[in-house]
């Protein structure tokens, strides 16, 4: 079977809306993919502020924003289709939305971006709310990408994504475990903003700084890192706990960035070392915006060498759009009524078929 779908991802780093048009070929349970075209629609200052401040809204205003952001996503999809001459080619849209609240201990997660609004604006069938079923079943609702990694990247033992939050998937015999490691680009970008930059290009600012050992010790001692997996992080762990801790040390921007880069690299090493499934002479695939941070990649490579691990950064399309690609796949799996989330990853009662379906086409 051949499927053509758009996958949409908005990460906690708030750099923009990733949209990928993907063609999948499935034969006897084996999946192949090709990203036909992809783009990132950067958020303007208004949307950055609205998404950043969504947690402070009352219930009515939050739902108004949910509808407005769904309309915005739909409009950007239409722009994407028009710019790339994709009319009548897109069979489905799968939208992750933008996570605002994530409280699996209360069996609740909330992603902005009303799927009904996307379907209404585009006239295309939409799958949204991809995490909700797993959370309702007692799972963490995150990470949800491992089912895609299992189907599309079978040759890798470890798959690391460095976005606003760094998360890792680890292959075991017939399944995967996965969990959030630590805040990453969300905090790095906040520190770069303090230096008047949108982000630390290639990590050059961090490279020029020095590690503050006292801060690094306190960061590594945060309670989350002591918790066993399955586990996941809400965005506010980085913004409300980690970032204020860093700022309390009154460091130069360079030293703050250098120290946090080291923290990320060390936590990735600890996550691999503390897992029950260490694989010798293994391959680590690294994707997400953090893969463009050359200094961060150097530090991670240095840490994982001791585990006889080869670090691989793939081509730019996969680095930048792997999560949008997997959202497209999850949409197709949902349409086929096949599992989209692995209980071995999230700790839910069972594997589940997640996602709300909105029919955008007129009958």
- Sheet with 158-162: strands ordered across: 176-183, 165-171, 158-162, 282-287, 309-312
pLDDT at 171: 87
pLDDT at 273: 85
CATH 3.20.20.210 fits 151-318, yes or no: no
44 Cβ contact partners less than 8 Å away, ≥ 6 residues apart: none
Domains 2-146+321-358 and 151-318 share a fold: yes
Asked whether residue 363 carries a pLDDT value surpassing 90, the answer given is no
pLDDT at 277: 60
| Token couple for 288 | 């997400």
Q: What is the pLDDT of residues 235-288, one digit of tens each?
A: 889 999 999 999 999 999 999 999 999 999 999 999 988 766 666 668 999 999
Q: What is the pLDDT of residues 162-175, one digit of tens each?
A: 999 999 999 887 77
Domain layout of the chain by residue ranges: 2-146+321-358, 151-318
Asked whether residue 324 carries a pLDDT value surpassing 80, the answer given is yes
pLDDT at 319: 96
pLDDT at 278: 62
Fold designation for 2-146+321-358 = Nucleotidyltransferase; domain 5 (3.30.420)
Q: What is the pLDDT of residues 105-152, one digit of tens each?
A: 999 999 999 999 999 999 999 999 999 999 999 999 988 999 999 999
Q: What is the pLDDT of residues 24-79, one digit of tens each?
A: 999 998 999 999 999 999 999 999 999 999 999 999 999 999 999 999 999 999 99
| Token couple for 77 | 């999809």
pLDDT band at 298 (very low <50, low <70, confident <90, very high): very high
pTM equals: 0.89
Asked whether residue 358 carries a pLDDT value surpassing 90, the answer given is yes
The whole-number average pLDDT for the span 203-231 is 96
Q: What is the pLDDT of residues 173-212, one digit of tens each?
A: 777 889 999 999 999 999 999 999 989 999 999 999 999 9
């Amino acid at each position: 079977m051949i499927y053509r779908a758009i996958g949409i991802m908005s990460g906690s780093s708030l750099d923009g809306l990733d949209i990928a048009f993907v063609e999948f070929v499935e034969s006897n349970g084996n999946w192949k993919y090709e990203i036909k075209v992809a783009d990132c629609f950067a958020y303007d200052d208004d949307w950055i502020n609205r998404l950043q401040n969504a947690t402070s809204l009352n219930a009515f205003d939050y739902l108004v924003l949910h509808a407005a952001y769904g309309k915005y996503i739909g409009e950007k999809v239409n722009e994407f289709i028009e710019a790339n001459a994709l009319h009548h080619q897109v069979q489905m849209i799968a939208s992750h939305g933008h996570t605002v609240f994530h409280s699996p201990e209360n069996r609740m997660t909330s992603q902005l971006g009303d799927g009904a609004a996307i379907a209404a604006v585009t006239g295309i069938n939409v799958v949204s709310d991809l995490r909700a079923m797993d959370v309702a079943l007692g799972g963490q609702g995150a990470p949800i990408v491992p089912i895609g990694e299992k189907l599309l990247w079978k040759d890798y033992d470890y798959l690391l994504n460095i976005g606003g939050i760094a998360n890792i998937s680890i292959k075991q015999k017939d399944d995967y475990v996965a969990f959030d490691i630590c805040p990453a680009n969300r905090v790095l970008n906040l520190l770069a903003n303090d230096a008047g930059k949108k982000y630390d290009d290639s990590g050059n600012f961090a490279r020029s700084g020095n590690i503050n050992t006292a801060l690094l010790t306190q960061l590594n001692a945060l309670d989350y890192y002591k918790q066993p997996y399955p586990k996941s992080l809400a965005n506010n762990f980085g913004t409300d706990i980690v970032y204020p801790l860093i700022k309390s040390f009154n460091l130069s921007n360079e030293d703050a960035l250098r120290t946090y880069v080291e923290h990320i690299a060390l936590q990735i090493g600890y996550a691999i070392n503390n897992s029950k499934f260490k694989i010798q002479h293994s391959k680590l695939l690294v994707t997400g915006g953090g893969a463009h941070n050359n200094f961060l990649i150097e530090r991670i490579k240095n840490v994982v060498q001791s585990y006889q691990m080869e670090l691989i950064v793939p081509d730019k399309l996969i680095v930048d759009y792997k999560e949008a690609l997997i959202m497209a796949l999850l949409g197709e799996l949902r349409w086929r009524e096949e599992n989209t989330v692995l209980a071995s990853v999230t700790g839910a009662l069972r594997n589940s078929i997640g996602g709300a379906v909105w029919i955008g086409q007129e009958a």
